[in-house]
Amino acid sequence: MLFNNPDVWEITLLSIKVSGIATLISLLIGFPFGTLLALNKFPGRAVLLTLINTGMALPPVVVGLAVAMTLWRSGPLGSLHLIYTPSAIIIAQVIISAPVVTGLTTASMQALDPRLRLQLQGLGASRSQMVFTIWREARLSLFAALMAGFGSVISEVGASMMVGGNIRHQTRVLTTAIVLETNKGEFISAIALGILLLLITFMINFALTWIQQRGVKR
């Protein structure tokens, strides 16, 4: 019955799309920034690392509040008319996910033997060749960062609710739909949507884990 409902497919696809885009943007920010933090020493690095690590534990509802205040019509970016749109949810989810990806990328780069960089440079690697080679070397940990980043946003509800508004056919995603159904007392629907969310999360993580574990030594 659940799968015959077009609304369910719509919110499922929107959930995957919004969280997928947010995760992708987080990777584009987190991989280079995390690598920069791991491989370079500069003034203020310790403070930045502390901020990133704090960011890994940001409460989604607080992020939602901050983004909502920024995007409200009276807010500093109100003229962009992004509040209660999927774009607003993506912005909030990037703020939640990017520190997770950045922090885990930094940790995985720092876990590699520091002499490896010298060896690669000693083999004639340019800066970009060196970075891509150590990313390849740390690919297991970087995939874990990707999965943690995706996991932090596909399951959050506070930010999506505050900046998306849970508007039917526009910004309703699986987590906000579960809250709505629960508030209406429609527990069977809420449980079914919850199972669907778990199933999607499992399938995406199963695919990523399969890619991650290919080529791992036995």
Partner 1 sequence: MSMRIELRNIFVHRAGLPVLEITNLILKEGRVHALVGPNGAGKSTLLMLLTGLIAPEQGEILINGQPVKDLRDLKYRRRVGLVMQDPLLLNMSVYENIAIGLHFRHVPGREIGRQVEDWVTRLGILHLLARKASTLSGGEAQRVALARVFVLQPELLLLDEPFGALDRKTRIGLLNELKILLPTTSATTIFSTHDEREVDVLADNRIELASGKISATNDV
SS3 helix, strand, coil % of the chain, rounded to 5?
A: 75, 0, 25
* Of 21 and 125, CB closest to partner 1: 125
Give the length of the chain: 218
Cβ contact 129:120 at 8 Å: yes
- The minimum distance between CB 73 and partner 1, in angstroms, equals 53
Sign of CA dihedral 61, 66, 71, 75: positive
- Residue 186's identity, in one-letter code, is E
Among 80, 111, 123, 203, which residue sits at the site for partner 1 (rule: CB under 8 A)? 123
Q: Which of 73, 68, 29 is nearest to 163 (CA)?
A: 68
Among 5, 113, 209, 213, which residue sits at the site for partner 1 (rule: CB under 8 A)? 113
Among 53, 133, 155, 182, which residue sits at the site for partner 1 (rule: CB under 8 A)? 133
Radius of gyration over alpha carbons of the chain, in Å?
20
Cβ contact 163:71 at 8 Å: yes
Among 24, 125, 148, 179, which residue sits at the site for partner 1 (rule: CB under 8 A)? 125
- The minimum distance between CB 78 and partner 1, in angstroms, equals 49
Under the criterion CB under 8 A, does residue 41 sit at the interface with partner 1?
no
Among 2, 28, 51, 118, which residue sits at the site for partner 1 (rule: CB under 8 A)? 118
Q: Which of 89, 85, 104, 92 is nearest to 27 (CA)?
A: 104
* Of 138 and 163, CB closest to partner 1: 138
Among 6, 43, 44, 124, which residue sits at the site for partner 1 (rule: CB under 8 A)? 124
Under the criterion CB under 8 A, does residue 110 sit at the interface with partner 1?
no
Q: Report the alpha-carbon distance of residue 133 to residue 125 in Å, rounded.
A: 9
- The minimum distance between CB 206 and partner 1, in angstroms, equals 23
- The minimum distance between CB 148 and partner 1, in angstroms, equals 21
Cβ contact 82:71 at 8 Å: yes
Under the criterion CB under 8 A, does residue 170 sit at the interface with partner 1?
no
Applying CB under 8 A, which residues contact partner 1?
113, 115-116, 118-119, 121-126, 129, 133, 136-137, 217
